[in-house]
Amino acid sequence: MKENLPEGLYIDLRDQVCRELELAPFLTDEQLKDYIDQSIFNTPRSYDLNTDAKLSISSRLFHSFRGLDILQPLIDDPCVTEIMINGPNHIFIEKEGMTERISLKFESTEKLEDLIQIMVGKMNRAVNDAQPIVDARLQDGSRVNVVLPPIALNGPTVTIRKFPDNPYTLSQLVARGTMIEEASQLLEQLVKAKYNIFIGGGTGSGKTTLLNALSQCIPAEERVITIEDSAELRIRGVHNLVSMETRNANTEGKGKVAISDLIRTSLRMRPNRIIVGEVRGSEAYDMLQAMNTGHDGSLSTGHANSVIDMLYRLETMVLSGVLIPLEAIRRQICSAIDIMVHISRFRDGSRKVTEISEITEISNGEILLNPLYMYAYNIDNDLKGLLSRSENSLVRVEKWMRSGLPQFE
């Protein structure tokens, strides 16, 4: 969108189209586009505009009524992976892992608030003074987080995380430098052998991307249940798939369906595997219970700075929901999770797997890890480091042997 377009002309045309929609509210998209183009063509103030400028105004007008206003071109741009709105006048985007501020801005705070209500309303979510924080998603699957004033001091704050229509495969992640081929082959075999895998990493590190890639290794004939706060997973190739999403409470405080509720009900749906998009709190206990009750091959993710930190966070999350001894929690974790994977975001915006470790046993009350792959950092430049195979062999080989796969060397 070009910023040198006459703003007054755009506003006058928008008011004219708005009046037309009041008279004919059921115009189809094509009829609306035709009316907008005719309005621009018949307006003397547009005579001096070139074709590109007219097309830009036409597109902006259409998106203001049937799309996401000034955000729609960003939503449609496949190179944009994240949109960050800090009030009406400050919009940032992420491209290729790098963040930049753009010159677009909303006409007013009210326009931004109206757009927020449209986005969350389409998902039957509500955001207001009583509930100023909400997670939702767009129709294309993009994840939306909204925080309203007075919680957000800079004005309505919106973060939109976009996901590719076709999720990356493991081979594509190898091509992008996320991991080496040998490690991707191991992860693929571990999924097929039905090892329970937990992916940890920081915000925007690529946890969901890696989870999507691993899920594509699941045999097509298995029954898979996915559970998420906001549906982001795009599992391909699994025919017997059930996807479930949480629901917030209504204005009366009723009707809430949490991740823990969905995990418990999924156990009655005869799943072969359960995929929990992300655990953040007490639902971690229910996830561990599910993994411990015969649902091998389950996958999940969580926020942490390292594998060790992820284990500590899991302990804390479980303790936030149930009062059981820490030793019992650690035994639950050791019994439920087979493999821990950590993925990190580097300063150049790239995402790389930095550790693949096996949980082996409890010793002296502590969970022991068996590192299989570790990222060797370069002293001079960590970007030149490499994920390297350790000298350790896989210890928990029962599932591998039952799967009939070649022996892990």
What tens digit of pLDDT does each residue of 263-287 get?
999 999 999 999 999 999 999 999 9
For residues 368 and 360, the answer to whether their CB atoms sit within 8 Å is yes
Residue 366: burial class (beta carbons within 10 Å; 0-12, 13-18, 19+)? exposed
- What's at 328, amino acid-wise? A
pLDDT at 39: 83
Size (the chain), residues: 409
When pLDDT is averaged across residues 67-78 and rounded to a whole number, the result is: 87
- pLDDT category at 7 given cuts 50, 70, 90 is low
The pLDDT-based confidence of 1 (bands split at 50, 70, 90) is: very low
The pLDDT value recorded for residue 52 is 80
The 10 Å Cβ neighbour count of residue 237 is 11
Q: What is the pLDDT of residue 377?
A: 87
Residue with tokens 């070009």: 2
Q: What is the pTM for the complete model shown?
A: 0.81
pLDDT-derived band at 242 (thresholds 50, 70, 90) equals very high
Comparing 78 with 125, which gets the higher pLDDT?
78
Q: Kind of pairing, strands 91-95 and 80-86? A: antiparallel
